[in-house]
Amino acid sequence: MKRYNFKFLILSLVVVLATSCEKWIDPAMNESPNSPADVPMSLILPGAEAGIAYSAGGELSRYSNYWMQQISGVQSHASGHEIYILLESDMDNLWKWYTYAGQLMDLKRIMDKSVEEGMESPHYSAVAKILTAYKLGVSTDVWNDIPYEDAFQGETTGQLTAAYHTQEKVYEIMNTLLDEAITELGSTESVFSPGSDDFIYGGDLDMWKKAAYALKARFAIHLSERNGDAAYTAALAAIPNAFASNADDLQFTFGTATPENAPLFQYDEQRPGYIGGLGAKMIELLKNGGDTDPRLAIYAKPLADGSFVGHPAGDPLDEASMVGDYFAKADATVMLMSYSELKFIEAEANFQLGNLPEAATAYNDAVKASLAKYGVSNETWEAANAAATAGTISIDMIMTAKYIATFLQDETFTDWRRYDNIIGLSIAKGANESEIPRRFPYPTNERIYNSENMPEYGSITNHVWWDVN
Amino acid sequence: MKKLIGLFVFLLFVGTQIVTAQSKQITGTVTSADDGLGMPGVSVIVKGTTIGASTDIDGKYSLEASASDVLVYSFVGMVSQEITVGSQTVINVVLETESIGMDEVVVTALGVTREKKSLGYAVSEVGGDEITRSNNVNLVNSIGSKVAGVQVNSSSGTAGGSSFITIRGMASLTGNNQPLFVVDGVPIDNSMNASGNPDNGRNNLTDGVAYSNRAIDLNPDDIASMSVLKGGAATALYGLRAANGVVLVTTKSGKKTKGRKVDVTFSSTVSIDKISQMPDMQYKYAQGLSGDYAGADGPWWKMFSWGPEVSSLEYDGDTSYKWDPRGRLVPKGTGNGMAAKTFDKEDFFDTGVTYNNSVGISGGSEFASFYLSASYNKSNGVVPENDYEKKTFTLSSDFKLSEKLSLGAKANYINSGGTRIQQGSNLSGVMLGLMRSATTFDNAAGYEFEDGSQRNYRGGGGYDNPYWTANNSQLKDNVDRLIGNINLKYEFSKNLTLSYRVGIDTYTDKRKSHFAIGSRAVPDGQVQEDEHFQRDINSDLILSYTKKLSDKFNFSAVAGHNMFSSYYQQVYVQGDKLTIPKFYHTSNAASLLVRESVTEKRTAAWYGDLGLDWNNMIYFRVTGRNEWSTSLPEGENSFFYPSTSLGIVLSEISALKDLTWLNFAKFRTSYAIIANDASPYGTFTTYDQAAYGDGSTNGVTFPFGGQPGFAVGDGLGNGELKPEKMKSFEIGFELSLFQNRLSIDAAYYNNQNEDLILWVPLSGTSGYTDRLMNAGEMENKGIELLVSGTPIKTSDFSWDVMVNFTKNKNEVLKLADGVDNVGLGGFTGSNMRAVQGKPYGSVYGSDWVRNDAGRVVVDAYGMPELSQVEVELGSALPEWTMGITNSFTYKGITLSALLDIKHGGIMWNGTKGVLQYFGTHGVTENRGEQKVFNAVTADGAENTTAITLDENWYTGLGNGWYGPSSQFIEDAGWTRLKEVSLSYEFPKSLLGDSFVKSLSLSFTGKNLWLDTPYTGVDPETSLMGASNAQGLDYFNMPGTKSYIFGLRMTF
């Protein structure tokens, strides 16, 4: 009897265990509870915008700002960057988190979702394309040849690398994207449209259209050394449809709450003393030979004795004026492209085509717009410094004033390269290179994991395609 | 008449024969020589037959045997006896304990006790006494140096700090490399959970505080014995988590006995800790730059220690100068004559004191036994304000419900926690602030002004005054943990047993951390509420069966079913921008960040173990386990892995059996395949809450401006994930010679790890940064040697020596196609990597520009150049380790010393790299020293040009930020006197009839002597705690040496 009971007991235990096993090992348990299975476009767009802005006001512009001597790096890694030590490992985060695996991937996801059946949203597609064009622009301008069309296939086809396009091709792609976006913005039907999730324009499609044209103008004039007059003509063609005032600026404003603080503010707070202040050249230009630019007090903070001092590049530690609160505060605004820049493009294009009166007017508007942006419009000063005429206007004036107006933006580096150091920066003391560099290195990540596609680029003093001279 | 007598004699003779041929009832009692008490469960067998009996609870037995039969009395761990029945009907036997070393028993997988000689694989035991004698708060520290093949690295000299343990090298590239801890058959959690914003990932380990690994919760006084299961075959029955080895802990329990018996043990120790070694600092030059003095009120960019000579300065006695109570420092002759002072960095550290008191009560009666213990441990660390407290309560009991059914239950409640201080790469880290402080600044003279602002050498900026950190930036943690189990055992018969055990390990770890307003890391102040919850449940149903197949063949089988579930949840709240000073509450924060995370997993398995042994000489074992796991893809989530082992006791061979000098010789070999699971949620690609930070700043996180945001996850999941596999081979032998005066245990193992799961980095252009893949291959090969002996043994005195030696060679064979290295953690400029063709945990960093022959190249001025390419700088793994224990026993006095030697393995001395920049390190004392670099010039000629090692050098290429990290790679090998202990056991004659049964006093010294070429703090340190990235020292806390006084009483 005992033995019979025992066998039955074992058998029933086995049966119970075997069946409960299936419910116990529940495959649904491996779906992460910490992540949604799918996310609407309205929750991807804000992240992409914040990321683009954080990078634009952070690493992307910081390195070129040191080289352009607008600010000065004086301690630790920053002082290395000032004397042109830029390692491939410095590029990894920027390339991966802020470009390809980061914002460009997210924008591509928006574009893919915007054409899904039942979800057709050309408005979202347009905004994503404009931001993609912007991002490709700032990326190719520092890295020359970059991938795009062959990229983002990790999950779809399983292709883990991507072929590079020539910079010429990238510019074509950027323009196509902008043209398509402009058409899509005109669509009357869009299942979803950006709204409060759009930090930049709050869903205003007209503003986005102006931004698209503004970027077209910018990209056109970048090819000035390659296309000559055609570049200037193309730029002028786009300008009428672009920004009409400072209110149209393509910009992103950060917040005072700690998780929303602006990149420069965070850098000063968490890496104190790395930035030693404004560059000597910048301060000199703002002092304007005695007729002080009203923007000096906005760009820089005075020293204890009220004076403004700039730090020459490569000099040892010394006192200098730190970046002004407008740019360095927690809720600062990072400028992606301004109306002022657009006016400078107009001035330059007109000048190069021989339309001197139009060039002078555009120049004056540009300078006034820049002062107005910071609330320091000054009729007296403008009468002396923003009153060019067809007779007085020169490319020197335009590009110098543009250098001042694009303070802390990555566009400064592009202009400096196009006009071959027209503002006359001297090489930093103790420089690690023989001349001021002209591009960023490719990241370690590409050299190791995409070696068959990554082109040889020589060194950071090599020119990008549109930088002929 | 004669016929009658003859018949009578004949009948007598025949009768006698008949009498002897008849079987009769034999009874008796088997007692133990140790305590004279009856021994239950002793096997009494008629030799040559399968007739036998077992003694009952009183040691009594009864069976049928004839006069010519020989009865064999045997019991595990005791010397067997053979007695001819003869004319006796009552045979009482006294069994002696087997002398240690030959028939020792060890606890093996699933809690099964086996004779050590029957094992085909390596098991090492650490006895309960050794564990309590070591007096470690953290159990893991009691294992190192005592067991071959084990490497323990304790991460800091802080109270409550963690220890990292590996057995036979690292087996996983990115996963867990620590062994499984099993307590009384139930696996327990040994994680080390870091605090901090989860978005910061591994950076939470390079700055932050020293966390505990959860094995620290166990009370070492509760432990009866600990087995370390090393090879694949030893751990195969534990399944997925045991690829890295198993530490089997058996806690004390009561003993069932006739009558009633209660034993009480009380032990108390006091430990005094002092810091061991610190880097060499300079005290010749004052605060300042380029020879100019600059005090805390000077310009911030002059606040280094490159000032003028201290001897050229004196105080001016100005009491209104808030930065120094003695006044400003001015050139000699212009002040009040009081010479300038410097302040020794070592004065910051206190003498740490640790109290440990524990009481254990065990007892039993015929049908039940119990063990009850309570302990209280309070440690005050050497860093001010650092403390750790642990209270444990254990109750375990066993009931014999009937002849066949017994029930056991155990509950262990622990409450532990402490105050932890910021360390590492953290502007508010205590060592960072202390070591960078200028020589002439007195941190101890106050850290906070009346208005709440900070007093430090940088005028309130820069780095925190270490006293500010210790008082104003603390993390307090409080852990409530319950480890419990219930087990049932039903004996169908002597040969067949069914047992069921279900256990739970659950804890809540609540942490509250704050930074005061004005702290350099978070100037606006910050409060963190971080809560971790873990619940593991484990159930095992085991059927075990033994059968004597014939006289010489024994068969045993075990079949089991296991179910395991694990649930982990973290909720993290960070409040930033505080307003009310010293009020650390989330209501005081202007902005709040919240993160939550859940990780859940379940496994189930069937397993079986078959053993066959022949003639006490050949032991053969086969195991198999089939496991299912939820963390693997559906349809591919089951896998089977077997093992086999063979042991041959050569000393049982008749030719060798009688050799007097050879007591025991055994050859053993085993082969096993074990699998190691994937972490959950790897099979899908997720969307992540959007957050953007770069290497220099924390960045922004969502929700942003009231708007939630998500980004496509950077990690590409893998829908075809497989478990990691380890193929483990082992071969060894054990020898015992000269009446067990010399024993040798040697093993060679070869572990091949395949399909290692790692996040393989991708080109960012794929849209992702990493992909989870089964790609890696790694191997660990090594030898373990344990030689022990007793050179001198007399009746009163003995000298025992034990030497264990381990040499493990690890090589990462393959990572993934196109991937030749994977980062494990660290900083830009010095980080740990797994690199193909090199040992795991290679340190990578920058170096000087070298020519093809590997010589450094200098320019025309004799200056070398920083190379922009990162290269391998060495491996943190040791070449070999050795532990030598000498113990001397004379009557009741025992003196023992453990020497721990580690040879090879480098450490990155990041601390030195930075202190050279600030001018506080001792090497900068000789300012202006000329040095000719051992290098060649551009055209290959030997360099003869000297450079000046002055301020320009040390703030230029001569530091860890602008210069290569290769300058700061140092040999981190050591020889240390790890433990010295002197104990006295009071003789029973002295205790006499008092209620005290035994009394012992002990003194132990730990880490009293250290000899190492490493110039930083004690190289047994790890910045990132119990993580895979060992080998980095960046402002790690110093190690400690301890003096421990203990008392132990049983009554």
Give yes or no for residue B941 having a pLDDT over 80.
yes
Please tell me the predicted confidence (pLDDT) of residue A239.
Answer: 95
Please tell me the predicted confidence (pLDDT) of residue B100.
Answer: 42
Please tell me the predicted confidence (pLDDT) of residue A233.
Answer: 96
Q: Taking residues B472-486, report their average pLDDT.
A: 92
In-domain check, residue B1036: no
Distance CA B181, CA B246 (A): 6
A210: pLDDT confidence band, cut at 50, 70 and 90?
Answer: very high
Give yes or no for residue B408 having a pLDDT over 60.
yes
Q: Which amino acid is at B758?
A: L
* Cβ neighbours for B28, distance < 8 A, ≥ 6 positions apart: B60, B61, B90, B91, B92, B93
Inter-chain contact A446–B765, Cβ cutoff 8 Å? Answer: yes
B230: pLDDT confidence band, cut at 50, 70 and 90?
Answer: confident
Q: Taking residues A188-208, report their average pLDDT.
A: 94
**Most confident of the following: B116-120, B556-560, B1022-1026:** B556-560
Inter-chain contact A44–B634, Cβ cutoff 8 Å? Answer: no
- Chains A and B form CB pairs within 8 A to the count of 263
**Most confident of the following: A82-86, A410-414, B661-665:** A410-414
CA distance A60 to chain B (A): 11
In-domain check, residue B630: no
In 3D space, the residue among B803, B800, B879 whose CA is nearest the CA of residue B839 turns out to be B879
Lowest mean pLDDT among A457-461, B107-111, B128-132, B351-355: B107-111
Q: Taking residues B26-55, report their average pLDDT.
A: 79
In-domain check, residue B694: yes
Give yes or no for residue A445 having a pLDDT over 80.
yes
Q: How many C-beta atoms surround the C-beta of residue B351 within 10 A?
A: 12
Q: What percent of chain B has pLDDT over 90?
A: 27
In 3D space, the residue among B443, B391, B263, B429 whose CA is nearest the CA of residue B1049 turns out to be B263
In-domain check, residue B46: yes
B198 close to A (CB below 8 A):
no
Please give the residue of chain A at the shortest CA–CA distance from B602. A25
Give yes or no for residue B677 having a pLDDT over 80.
no
Who has greater pLDDT, B743 or A27? B743
Please give the residue of chain B at the shortest CA–CA distance from A3. B492
Give yes or no for residue B572 having a pLDDT over 70.
yes
Q: What percent of chain A has pLDDT over 90?
A: 75
Please give the residue of chain A at the shortest CA–CA distance from B715. A101
Who has greater pLDDT, B372 or B141? B372
CATH classification of the domain holding B27:
2.60.40.1120
Q: Taking residues B788-808, report their average pLDDT.
A: 89
In 3D space, the residue among A176, A226, A160 whose CA is nearest the CA of residue A463 turns out to be A226
B14: pLDDT confidence band, cut at 50, 70 and 90?
Answer: very low
Distance CA B359, CA A49 (A): 63
Q: What percent of chain B has pLDDT over 70?
A: 91
Q: Are B768 and B715 in contact (CB under 8 A)?
A: yes
Its domain, for residue B48, covers 20-95
Domains of chain A, CATH where assigned = 41-265+329-430 (1.25.40.390)
Q: What is the tens place of the pLDDT at every residue in B37-47?
A: 778 778 888 87
CA distance A17 to chain B (A): 8
Give yes or no for residue A321 having a pLDDT over 50.
yes
**Most confident of the following: A3-7, A22-26, A421-425:** A421-425
Please give the residue of chain B at the shortest CA–CA distance from A263. B699
Q: Is the ipTM, as predicted for this complex, more than 0.85?
A: yes
B101: pLDDT confidence band, cut at 50, 70 and 90?
Answer: very low
Q: Taking residues B276-288, report their average pLDDT.
A: 91
Please tell me the predicted confidence (pLDDT) of residue B58.
Answer: 80
Please tell me the predicted confidence (pLDDT) of residue B18.
Answer: 41
Distance CA B482, CA B465 (A): 39
Q: How would you classify the pairing of strands B52-54 and B43-46? A: antiparallel
CA distance B519 to chain A (A): 11
Who has greater pLDDT, B1020 or B589? B589
Q: Which residues pair with B370 in a beta bridge?
A: B363, B397
Chain A residues with CB under 8 Å of B713 CB are 35
Q: Taking residues A360-380, report their average pLDDT.
A: 94
How many domains does chain B contain in total?
2
Give yes or no for residue B918 having a pLDDT over 60.
yes
Q: Which long-range contacts (CB under 8 A, 24 or more apart) does A208-211 make?
A: A208/A126, A208/A127, A208/A130, A208/A181, A209/A182, A209/A185, A209/A241, A210/A241, A210/A242, A210/A243, A210/A244, A210/A248, A211/A130, A211/A242, A211/A243, A211/A248, A211/A250, A211/A337
Q: Are B500 and B477 in contact (CB under 8 A)?
A: no
Mean pLDDT, chain B, integer: 84
Q: Taking residues B735-756, report their average pLDDT.
A: 89
Give yes or no for residue B50 having a pLDDT over 90.
no
Who has greater pLDDT, B358 or B997? B358
Across the interface, of A47, A258, A259, the residue whose CB is closest to B710 is A47
Q: Are B562 and B625 in contact (CB under 8 A)?
A: no
Give yes or no for residue B853 having a pLDDT over 90.
no
Interface test with A, best of B561, B588, B765 (most A CBs within 10 A): B765
B764 close to A (CB below 8 A):
yes
Give yes or no for residue B239 having a pLDDT over 70.
yes
Distance CA B1032, CA B153 (A): 12
- How large is the angle between the packed helices A395-405 and A339-353, nearest 10 degrees? 170
Q: How would you classify the pairing of strands B23-32 and B93-95? A: parallel
Give yes or no for residue A1 having a pLDDT over 50.
no
Across the interface, of B492, B695, B771, the residue whose CB is closest to A93 is B695
Last residue of a domain, one of B673, B701, B717: B717
A448 close to B (CB below 8 A):
yes
State whether residue A279 is helix, strand or coil.
Answer: strand
Q: Which amino acid is at B131?
A: I
B152: pLDDT confidence band, cut at 50, 70 and 90?
Answer: confident
- The token pair that represents B214 in the structure block: 């959860």
Distance CA B947, CA B751 (A): 50
Last residue of a domain, one of B61, B95, B129: B95
B161: pLDDT confidence band, cut at 50, 70 and 90?
Answer: confident
Q: What is the tens place of the pLDDT at every residue in B391-402?
A: 999 999 999 998
Q: Which amino acid is at B154?
A: S
Q: Are B876 and B905 in contact (CB under 8 A)?
A: yes
A254 close to B (CB below 8 A):
yes
Give yes or no for residue A312 having a pLDDT over 70.
yes
Q: What is the tens place of the pLDDT at every residue in A264-289?
A: 999 988 888 888 899 999 999 999 88
In 3D space, the residue among B901, B671, B680, B664 whose CA is nearest the CA of residue B803 turns out to be B901
Please tell me the predicted confidence (pLDDT) of residue B144.
Answer: 67
Please tell me the predicted confidence (pLDDT) of residue B116.
Answer: 73
Please tell me the predicted confidence (pLDDT) of residue A24.
Answer: 86
In-domain check, residue B323: no
Inter-chain contact B524–A100, Cβ cutoff 8 Å? Answer: no
Q: Are B985 and B894 in contact (CB under 8 A)?
A: yes
Who has greater pLDDT, B876 or B165? B876
Who has greater pLDDT, B759 or B306? B306
Sheet of B52-54, strand order: B52-54, B43-46, B70-74, B81-84
Q: How many C-beta atoms surround the C-beta of residue B72 within 10 A?
A: 16
Please tell me the predicted confidence (pLDDT) of residue B206.
Answer: 63
Last residue of a domain, one of B70, B95, B120: B95
Q: List, as ranges, residues 384-423 from A with C-beta within 8 Å of B.
A: none
- Alpha-carbon distances of B112 from B181, B184, B248, B558, rounded to whole Å: 16, 11, 11, 10
Chain A residues with CB under 8 Å of B690 CB are 46-47, 50-51
Give yes or no for residue A208 having a pLDDT over 50.
yes
Distance CA A307, CA A320 (A): 9
Across the interface, of A21, A96, A270, the residue whose CB is closest to B698 is A270
Q: What is the tens place of the pLDDT at every residue in B105-132?
A: 777 767 677 777 777 777 787 877 777 7
Q: Taking residues B699-725, report their average pLDDT.
A: 88
Q: Taking residues A426-436, report their average pLDDT.
A: 89
Q: Taking residues A308-327, report their average pLDDT.
A: 89
**H or E element that contains B1005:** strand B998-1011
Inter-chain contact A29–B601, Cβ cutoff 8 Å? Answer: yes
In-domain check, residue B332: no
Q: Taking residues A125-136, report their average pLDDT.
A: 96
Please tell me the predicted confidence (pLDDT) of residue B15.
Answer: 40
Give yes or no for residue A417 having a pLDDT over 90.
yes
Strand runs (DSSP E) across B615-690, as ranges?
Answer: 618-629, 638-649, 662-676, 687-689
B1028: pLDDT confidence band, cut at 50, 70 and 90?
Answer: low
In-domain check, residue B63: yes
**Most confident of the following: A378-382, B324-328, B614-618, B791-795:** A378-382
Please tell me the predicted confidence (pLDDT) of residue A399.
Answer: 95
Please tell me the predicted confidence (pLDDT) of residue B486.
Answer: 94
Across the interface, of A27, A152, A450, the residue whose CB is closest to B634 is A27
In 3D space, the residue among B773, B751, B748 whose CA is nearest the CA of residue B762 turns out to be B773
Q: What is the tens place of the pLDDT at every residue in A141-158?
A: 999 999 999 999 988 888
B2: pLDDT confidence band, cut at 50, 70 and 90?
Answer: low
Lowest mean pLDDT among A215-229, A416-430, B88-102, B466-480: B88-102
Please tell me the predicted confidence (pLDDT) of residue B145.
Answer: 65
Q: Is A254 exposed, middle or buried (0-12, 13-18, 19+ CB in 10 A)?
A: buried
- The span from the first CA to the last CA of chain B, in angstroms, equals 75
**Most confident of the following: A200-214, B270-284, B490-504:** A200-214
Who has greater pLDDT, B110 or B509? B509
A136: pLDDT confidence band, cut at 50, 70 and 90?
Answer: very high
Please tell me the predicted confidence (pLDDT) of residue B202.
Answer: 58
- The token pair that represents B234 in the structure block: 């030893």
- The token pair that represents B897 in the structure block: 């010393």
Give yes or no for residue B445 having a pLDDT over 70.
yes
